[in-house]
């Protein structure tokens, strides 16, 4: 019976991330609008957008290949699997050992690989510009992320997210220089990976400043819905990741019973709201960078990650 319950909790996790992802996107948009003294669309607008896109017909470029039609599903699936493996409200879920943090990063890398290929498929200049810039940003953000993983893994003695979260919740961690560096670096990487200001602007309509939006310019209808959904999932994943590593105290254990799990869900939603609010605040306070300033921005994360790792190599107590 226990295994059935475990699988059920895992299933709930997979469903909950799916349901909450558009809500987080809508919440961030709403807060941004309010901070700019606009009324803004409802927080449920992303659901309506997805619904509308799903009902519309797909307008496919004449020379689009099978890869262009398959890519949205692959991108969505890889992102969803990655999001389902991050502890959101509970640690130690039954499939959590399927992939550690390195594998989760690599899964997101797979999604990006196919997105960048899809951008090049139709053979337009905007698709190419988006793909080319996306891989440039990723070529810095991914190593930064891996160095952050190194820092965490050296501190916690594991790359397994559940173990890391349990360790971080234990009282003997305390304030550490290396973990502080990892937090700053992780926030920078999260901003870059999710194509937020100042790296990219999800709301832009000026073609030459687009990165993510330029890649998906040729997508429409249900294909676009899948990609938008995957982008929301990715944002949710990163906020949950930061939450489960640096604010792990409210995570329930997977076998803790329904009440504790319920409490975990509520506090997780509160964490998402707090994260979304801070993201919106940051985005309204800063201007978008030129593309060739971005390497300096992400380079800071890379250096912080390397410094954090080096500190831990010097002494486990730092």
Partner 1 sequence: MPVVWVLGCVAALLATAVAAVGLGRRRGATQAVYAASFAASAVALITAGAQLALAEGVAPALTLPLGLPWLGARFRMDALAAFFLVVVNLGGAATSFYALGYGKHEAAPARVLPFFPAFLAGMNLVVLAHDAFSFLLAWESMSLASWALVMAHHRDADNRRAGLVYLVMASFGTLALLLAFGLLAGAEGSYDFAAIRAGAPTPLVAGLVPMLVLLGAGSKAGLVPLHVWLPLAHPAAPSHVSALMSGVMTKVAIYAFVRVAFDLLGDSAWWQSMVVLALGGGTAVLGVLYALMQHDLKRLLAYHTVENIGIIYIGLGLALTFEANGMGAAAALALTAALFHVLNHSLFKSLLFFGAGAVLTATGQRDMEHLGGLIRRMPYTSFAFLVGCVAISALPPLNGFVSEWLTFQAILQSPDLPQWGLKFLVPAVGGLLALSAALAAACFVKAFGVTFLGRPRTSAAETAREVDRCSLGAMFMLVALCVAAGIVPGLVIDALAPVTLSLVAERMPLQLEVPWLSVVPIAEARSSYNGLLVFLFIAFSASLASVVIRRFASHSLRRAPAWDCGFPDPSPATQYTAGSFAQPIRRVFGSLVFRAREQVDMPAPGDLRPARLQVEIRDLIWDWLYAPIAVAIGYAADRFNRLQFLTIRRYLSLVFLALVTLLLALAIWP
Distance CA 274, CA 225 (A): 26
Q: Mark the segment that binds partner 1 (CB under 8 A) among 28-36, 133-141, 179-187, 191-199.
A: 133-141
Tell how far CA 15 is from the center of its chain.
Answer: 17
Binding residue for partner 1 (CB under 8 A) from 16, 35, 136, 184?
A: 136
Q: Mark the segment that binds partner 1 (CB under 8 A) among 19-27, 31-39, 143-151, 183-191.
A: 143-151
Does 124 bind partner 1 (CB under 8 A)? Our answer is yes
Q: Which candidate, 101, 108, 105, 104, places its Cα nearest to that of 163?
A: 101
Q: Smaller CB distance to partner 1: residue 136 or 253?
A: 136
User: What DSSP string describes 24-52?
Assistant: HHHHHHHHHHHHTT-----TTHHHHHHHH
Does 129 bind partner 1 (CB under 8 A)? Our answer is yes
| Residues in 221-250 at the binding interface with partner 1, rule: CB under 8 A | 221-222, 225-226
| Residues in 66-105 at the binding interface with partner 1, rule: CB under 8 A | 66-67, 73-74, 76-78, 80-81, 84, 95, 97-100, 102-103
Distance CA 15, CA 22 (A): 13
User: Is cis: bond before 198, omega within 30 of 0?
Assistant: yes
Q: What are phi and psi of 253, to 5 degrees?
A: -80, 150
Binding residue for partner 1 (CB under 8 A) from 34, 48, 56, 293?
A: 56
Output the smallest distance, CB 121 to partner 1, in A.
5
Distance CA 54, CA 296 (A): 39
Structure tokens at 65: 């290949």
Q: Mark the segment that binds partner 1 (CB under 8 A) among 33-41, 117-125, 179-187, 247-255.
A: 117-125
Q: Which helix (H) or strand (E) is 91 found in, with range?
A: strand 90-91
- Which residues sit opposite 94 in a β-bridge? none
Does 310 bind partner 1 (CB under 8 A)? Our answer is yes
Does 168 bind partner 1 (CB under 8 A)? Our answer is no
Output the smallest distance, CB 39 to partner 1, in A.
29
Q: Smaller CB distance to partner 1: residue 106 or 269?
A: 106
Q: Which helix (H) or strand (E) is 1 found in, with range?
A: none
Tell which phi-psi region holds residue 202, choosing left (phi > 0), alpha (psi between -120 and 50) or beta: alpha
Q: Smaller CB distance to partner 1: residue 102 or 289?
A: 102
Output the smallest distance, CB 163 to partner 1, in A.
5
Output the smallest distance, CB 266 to partner 1, in A.
26
Q: Mark the segment that binds partner 1 (CB under 8 A) among 181-189, 191-199, 242-250, 299-307.
A: 299-307
- Which residues sit opposite 91 in a β-bridge? 253
Does 39 bind partner 1 (CB under 8 A)? Our answer is no
Q: Is the Cβ–Cβ distance between 274 and 26 less than 8 Å?
A: no
| Residues in 253-292 at the binding interface with partner 1, rule: CB under 8 A | 291-292
Output the smallest distance, CB 262 to partner 1, in A.
26
Binding residue for partner 1 (CB under 8 A) from 12, 16, 33, 117?
A: 117
Q: Smaller CB distance to partner 1: residue 31 or 216?
A: 216
Distance CA 292, CA 133 (A): 10
Distance CA 238, CA 184 (A): 13
Does 216 bind partner 1 (CB under 8 A)? Our answer is no
Rg of the chain in Å (alpha carbons): 19
């Amino acid at each position: 019976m226990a295994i059935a319950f475990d699988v059920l909790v895992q299933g709930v996790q997979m469903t909950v991330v799916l349901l909450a992802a558009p809500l987080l996107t809508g919440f961030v948009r709403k807060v941004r609008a309010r901070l700019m003294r606009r009324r803004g669309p409802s927080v449920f607008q992303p659901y309506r957008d997805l619904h509308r896109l799903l009902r519309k017909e797909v307008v496919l470029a004449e020379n689009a290949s099978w890869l262009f039609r398959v890519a949205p599903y692959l991108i969505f699936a890889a992102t969803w699997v990655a999001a389902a493996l991050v502890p959101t409200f509970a640690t130690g879920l039954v499939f959590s050992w399927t992939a550690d943090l390195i594998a989760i990063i690599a899964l997101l890398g797979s999604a990006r690989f196919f997105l960048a290929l899809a951008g090049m498929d139709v053979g337009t200049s905007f698709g190419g510009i988006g793909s080319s810039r996306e891989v440039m940003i990723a070529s810095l953000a991914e190593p930064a992320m891996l160095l952050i993983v190194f820092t965490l893994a050296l501190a916690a003695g594991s790359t397994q997210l559940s173990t890391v979260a349990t360790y971080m919740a234990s009282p003997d961690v305390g304030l550490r220089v290396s973990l502080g560096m990892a937090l700053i670096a992780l926030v920078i990487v999260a901003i870059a990976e999710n194509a937020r200001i100042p790296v990219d602007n999800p709301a832009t309509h000026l073609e030459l400043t687009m990165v993510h939006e330029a890649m998906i310019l040729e997508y429409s209808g249900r294909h676009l819905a899948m990609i938008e959904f995957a982008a929301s999932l990715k944002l949710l994943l990163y906020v949950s990741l930061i939450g489960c590593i640096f604010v792990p105290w409210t995570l329930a254990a997977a076998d803790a019973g329904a009440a504790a799990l319920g409490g975990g869900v509520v506090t997780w939603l509160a964490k998402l709201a707090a994260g979304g609010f801070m993201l919106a605040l940051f985005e309204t306070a800063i201007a978008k960078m030129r593309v060739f300033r971005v390497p300096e921005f992400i380079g800071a994360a890379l250096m912080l990650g390397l410094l954090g790792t080096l500190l831990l190599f010097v002494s486990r107590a730092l």
